[in-house]
C-alpha cells in the first residue's frame, strides 16, 4: 500500500505475459492477505510507461530476475476511510483485475477441419 496524503494507493505488478490482457477500464479490487472474502474496490490512477524487472520480496541484490512486469497504481475507490478500514500502509494486498479469458489453441488449431 502506498499513500499520498489521506488516500490509500496500491502498486500492482502485472506480469509481462498478462500485459496484452490488461485493460485500463477493467474493474479491479483488492483483498487483504488472509481475508480473500473481503473485496475493496480500486480505481486506476496511473500506468507506469516502462516494463521493468520484477522486484522480489527478499530485496537481495544477488537475486537473478528474468521476469518483467508493468506497474500500475490503483487508489482505494469511494470513501477511502471506510473502504480501507482495517488496512495499514505498507500492508500487502492481493489484487484482482478483470480480464478476458486466455484463448486456448494455436493459430493452426483455430482453423475448422474439412472433415475429410
Domains defined along the chain, listed by start: 2-101 (2.40.30.170)
| Predicted pLDDT at 103 | 74
Of 83, 72, 100, give the one whose Cα is nearest residue 31.
83
Q: Give tens-digit pLDDT for 1-41.
A: 554 456 788 999 999 999 999 999 999 999 988 888 989 99
In 16-114, where do the E strands start and end? 28-32, 40-47, 52-53, 68-76, 93-97
| Predicted pLDDT at 58 | 62
Read off the pLDDT band of 46 (50, 70, 90): very high
Give the span between the Cα atoms of 54 and 51, in whole angstroms. Answer: 9
| Predicted pLDDT at 111 | 46
Exposure string of 54-77, with b = 16+ CB inside 10 Å and e = fewer, is eeeeeeeeeeeeeeebbbbbbbbb
Q: 46 forms bridges with which residues in the sheet?
A: 73
* pLDDT(112) > 50: no
Q: Residue 37 is placed in which grid cell? A: 472474502
Amino acid at each position: 500500500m502506498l499513500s499520498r496524503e489521506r488516500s490509500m494507493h496500491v502498486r500492482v505488478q502485472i506480469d509481462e505475459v498478462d500485459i496484452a490482457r490488461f485493460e485500463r477500464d477493467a474493474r479491479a479490487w483488492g483483498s487483504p492477505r488472509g481475508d480473500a472474502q473481503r473485496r475493496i474496490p480500486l480505481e486506476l490512477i496511473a500506468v507506469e510507461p516502462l516494463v521493468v524487472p520484477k522486484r522480489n520480496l527478499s530485496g537481495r541484490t544477488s537475486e537473478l530476475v528474468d521476469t518483467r512486469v508493468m506497474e500500475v497504481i490503483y487508489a482505494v475507490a469511494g470513501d477511502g476511510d471506510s473502504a480501507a478500514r482495517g488496512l495499514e500502509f505498507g500492508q500487502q494486498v492481493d489484487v484482482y483485475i478483470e480480464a478476458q479469458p486466455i484463448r486456448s489453441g494455436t493459430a493452426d488449431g483455430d482453423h475448422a477441419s474439412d472433415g475429410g
